Amino acid sequence: MYNSWEELKKDCMGCTKCELCRTRTNLVFGTGNENAEVLFIGEGPGQNEDLQGLPFVGRGGQLLDKFLAAVDLDRNKNIYIANMVKCRPPQNRDPLPAEQEACIGWLREQVRLMRPKIIVCLGRISAQKLISPDFKVTKQHGEFIEKGGILFMGTFHPAALLRNPNQKPDALEDFLKLKEKIKEICERTY
Ligand code: URA
Ligand code: SF4
């Protein structure tokens, strides 16, 4: 258990709890406002993220930033962004269950320190790990589910939206629902 982001980040940056530590260039701890009420969680770093040490900095990240901006959210101001695993899986394969299990402790500590009101799962990997193992993004996107005092919502992964642009209107609807929910229950976000 950590009492400060500084200590947590320092220990996390040296993590060797799973094999992904061997192939990383940079560990991607997360970015944004550590006091945010809204936390976004992706899957894991891709190539650009691994090279820069920051989450969602490639094409998917640019698209994510557009959706965020559409609802007055900004990774440099009022949200935080992290991933299920903090080191890049080779060839961008899905992180293995064992890797997710090894890594989730770091995310738990981030959540404990941040105490977000809302967690948005970007894509199947984080939604199935954090909401329910059989979560189906195409069916359950945009639904808010309460767990342990935090509201969870799953939506499309930006990379999926790049592959299937026809899902963008549905994704935008999810972000608009998120905005309404934030207005309802958050105090410092807008
Ligand atoms: N995809 C993710 O899930 N996370 C990132 O940080 C980048 C791409
Ligand atoms: Fe540690 Fe997570 Fe990186 Fe594995 S993916 S080495 S558990 S930080």
pLDDT at 124: 98
Is residue 109 within 8 A of residue 134, CB to CB? The reply is: no
Q: Rounded distance, CA 106 to CA 12, Å?
A: 7
Q: Is 116 in the pocket of ligand 1 (CB under 6 A)?
A: no
Rounded to an integer, the average pLDDT of 37-57 is: 98
pLDDT at 53: 98
Q: Tell me the CA–centroid distance for residue 100 and ligand 1, in Å.
A: 14
Q: Is 87 in the pocket of ligand 2 (CB under 6 A)?
A: yes
Q: Which of 36, 71, 92 is nearest to 180 (CA)?
A: 71
pLDDT at 55: 98
Residue 35 tokens read as 């006091």
Q: Is 17 in the pocket of ligand 2 (CB under 6 A)?
A: yes
Quote the percentage of the chain above a pLDDT of 70.
100
Domains in the chain, start-ordered, CATH in brackets?
5-182 (3.40.470.10)
Q: At what angle do helices 5-13 and 97-114 cross, to 10 degrees?
A: 160
pLDDT at 155: 99
Q: Rounded distance, CA 190 to CA 179, Å?
A: 9
Rounded to an integer, the average pLDDT of 163-178 is: 98
pLDDT at 8: 98
Residue 166 tokens read as 């026809």
Rounded to an integer, the average pLDDT of 128-147 is: 98
Q: Is 43 in the pocket of ligand 1 (CB under 6 A)?
A: yes
Q: Where are the alpha helices (DSSP H) in 17-123?
A: 47-52, 59-70, 97-114
